[in-house]
Every structure is written in C-alpha cells, then in structure tokens.
Amino acid sequence: MHHFDWSGIPGALPTLWTGAVVTLKITILAIVIGIVWGTLLAIMRLSSFKPLEWFAKLYVTLFRSIPLVMVLLWFFLIVPQVLQNVLGLSADIDIRLASAMVAFSLFEAAYYSEIIRAGIQAVSRGQVNASFALGMNYAQAMRLVVLPQAFRAMVPLLLTQAIVLFQDTSLVYVISLADFFRTATNIGDRDGTNVEMVLFAGACYFVFCVVASTLVKSLQKKVAR
C-alpha cells in the first residue's frame, strides 16, 4: 500500500503558483483572441460573400476535426521560426509558451465561432430588418443590435467553453511547458511524491472547475429570467 506524504506540498506552493500563472496566461489569452477571432469567423460564415463563407467553413471544419494535442505539436515542431518572424519574438521568449498561446487561440476560435454563430442566428430576423428601417447598414446592425443580444444569451455557453479550455491547457505537458500540471509532476519526480502531487493537482483543477461551473449555472438562471 502506498504511504502518502503530503508534507512537501506547502513548500511547493510558490513553484506551483509559477506554473499556475502560465496556465492562466494561456487560458485568458486564448479566451480573448478566441472570442474576437471566433466572432469574425461567425460573421464570415453568415456572409453572402461566398469566398468568406468558404474560408470560415474550412477553418472551422479543419480545427474541429484535428485533436488539440496534434495542433500543439504542429505549432511547436513545425512553425516556431515562423512564429518568431511573424510575431517579432525575441530569442529570450520561450517559444513553447508562444506556440501554446497561438495554438490554443486559433483552436478555440473554431469552437467559439460555432457558439457565436448559433447565438447570432437565434436573434430574430426582424431585429435586422428594423435596424435597416432605421437607416443602419449591415455592419451597424450587427454591432449595435444583433451582437449585444446574441452575446447576452451566449455568455453561459462561452464561459462553459472557457472552463473546458482551462482543463485542456494541461495538454501543454506534451511540449514540456511548465504549466501548473507539468510543474506538479516535475516536483513529484524530484521529491519522489508523484502520486501526491498528481492528486493535489487534480484536486485543484476539480475545485476551480466546480466553482466556475456553479457560477455559470447561476448566471444561466439570471439570463433565463
């Protein structure tokens, strides 16, 4: 029987916090860029201009058909130099972190796009017609009338996807990026407490996701009212 030794966890908290910061950076950036880029993709999917519609459809289909692990490895193994040149990254920046941020942002945009597209389509067509009757063009109708209503209804779904994204950040383990989970396992390897650190990391993910899910359910009730 395994003899649990939890005594090393308090001393490991500062190092674990460093890994948690990496996890939060990836999560927050992917949420922001994912929603912005996903909104543009959703508008393209609904556009009457066929090339834009085809591009958005191909993009969404591609990223939703490929495992996230594979996308992470692509960006880490195939395009690090491209990322450095396009983004103007200095040699001091950890390319693993930059690769993970870009991969997660582009990947999550495909999922946010479908959520946002469904939200836009849920808004009555009469709202758009009323906007046109007031003298607005299509862009103004989307920005001032349709998107505010759509986002209000979509907030719970967007936050639920953000929780899934937070969980998925542990996959950066495959590119040896020291996020929260990787940091926990490194400490476990160093101190011989692998079981304890993995269980502790799992408990932290569990608590965070349960609290976040509870807040989302509360928000869903408010939106429904």
Round to whole Å and give the CA distance between 201 and 222.
32
Rg over CA atoms, the chain: 21
Residue type, 2: H
Q: What pLDDT is attached to residue 79?
A: 67
Contact 195, 4 (CB under 8 A): yes
In 3D, which of 210, 214, 212 has the Cα closest to residue 202? Answer: 210
Single pTM value for the model: 0.86
224 or 180, which is more confident: 180
For the purposes of burial, counting CB atoms within 10 Å of the CB of 104, is it exposed (0-12), middle (13-18) or buried (19 or more)?
buried
pLDDT higher than 90, residue 110: yes
Contact 190, 182 (CB under 8 A): no
Q: What CATH number matches the domain at 10-224, 1.10.3720.10, 3.10.420.10, 3.20.20.70, 3.40.50.720?
A: 1.10.3720.10
Contact 62, 111 (CB under 8 A): no
Q: In this predicted model, what pLDDT tens digit does every residue of 137-164 receive, in sequence order?
A: 877 888 888 888 888 878 888 888 999 9
pLDDT higher than 70, residue 89: no
Residue type, 104: F
Q: What pLDDT is attached to residue 25?
A: 92
Neighbours of 206 (CB within 10 A): 10
- Mean of per-residue pLDDT scores for the chain: 85
**Which residue has tokens 């990322």?**
83
- Stretch 188-201: mean pLDDT, rounded? 88
In 3D, which of 21, 177, 187, 33 has the Cα closest to residue 104? Answer: 33
Round to whole Å and give the CA distance between 1 and 138.
67
